[in-house]
Amino acid sequence: MQILLLEDDAEISTGLALYLERAGYVVHLARDGIEALKMFFEKNIALAILDLQVPLLDGLEVLRSIRQLQNTPVILLTAKGEIEDRLRGFELGADDYIAKPFWIQEVLARVEAILKRSGLNTETVLYGAESLELHLLERQVFYRAQEISLRPTEFSLLCALLRVPNRIFSRQELLETLNRNEEDTSERAIDVHIKNIHKKLGGHTALETVFGFGYRYNLREI
């Protein structure tokens, strides 16, 4: 699922984008309003997060343009706390409003809540190369029409990689995606888990080791 993030503060945009990507979203970063509108109408955007104070076109102008054609969910970000900004945003059709500074976890919670209310967060199956299917609710894996038994940590790792295909994840990043209630893990253990996934999938070629960096699920091979 694709998210547009309009934010000209590099530190905020990079941190927020990374957190959203770890949660399984594809994030498109824009530094100004014109770039944001171009991305919005070129990509299949499910939700937009717009900072109000950005160059060229501000977040409210971007929101106005979006609402002229689509009802895509929009969250506004701003350093301001004035009630007038909030009311203006809601008048133009914003779905939510978050004032800076904010907790990144709060943004993710708002994103997921809005997508759920909109009926968009209904993903139940992830599809990979060579007829690979991950059934998220049942936590089942099918490869070439055969069910494959993965341990909980193996399933979570494969899911994290497949949610953001072609992106290289470091071992530490993969470790941070895991539920701490799952099996004990360490960065060294990530290598073992990936090796086990490879073995169970019979040398599945899309799951790649990028030496010196980490791992990725390469969908460009499809």
Task: Name the band, by pLDDT with cuts 50, 70 and 90, for residue 113.
Answer: confident
Give the three-state DSSP class for 141: strand
Six token digits for residue 171: 């071992």
- Contacts of 140-145 with C-beta under 8 Å, sequence gap 24+, read 143/201, 143/202, 143/204
pLDDT at 180 over 50: no
pLDDT at 221 over 50: no
Interatomic CA distance for residues 113 and 109, integer angstroms = 6
pLDDT at 217 over 50: yes
Which residues touch 14 (CB under 8 Å, ≥6 apart)? Answer: none
CB 28 within 8 A of CB 6: no
Six token digits for residue 213: 């960096």
Residue with tokens 């470091």: 170
Is the pTM higher than 0.75? The answer reads no
Amino acid found at 58: D
Of 13-17, 82-86, 114-118, the range with the lowest mean pLDDT is 82-86
pLDDT at 187 over 80: no
Amino acid found at 131: S
Q: Give me the pLDDT at residue 49, please.
A: 94
For residues 77-97, average pLDDT = 77
Q: How many CA atoms lie within 13 A of 179 on its CB side?
A: 9
CB 126 within 8 A of CB 162: yes
Interatomic CA distance for residues 110 and 122, integer angstroms = 16
Give the three-state DSSP class for 98: strand
pLDDT digits (tens, 9 = 90+) for 2-60: 889 998 888 888 888 888 887 778 889 999 999 999 999 888 788 999 988 888 888 88
* Domains by residue range for the chain, with CATH: 2-117 (3.40.50.2300), 125-221 (1.10.10.10)
pLDDT at 196 over 90: yes
Closest to 177 in 3D by CA, of 164, 137, 201 = 164
Task: Name the band, by pLDDT with cuts 50, 70 and 90, for residue 181.
Answer: very low
Distances 187 to 58, 70, 143 between C-alpha atoms, Å: 42, 44, 27
Task: Name the band, by pLDDT with cuts 50, 70 and 90, for residue 193.
Answer: very high
Q: Give me the pLDDT at residue 163, please.
A: 80
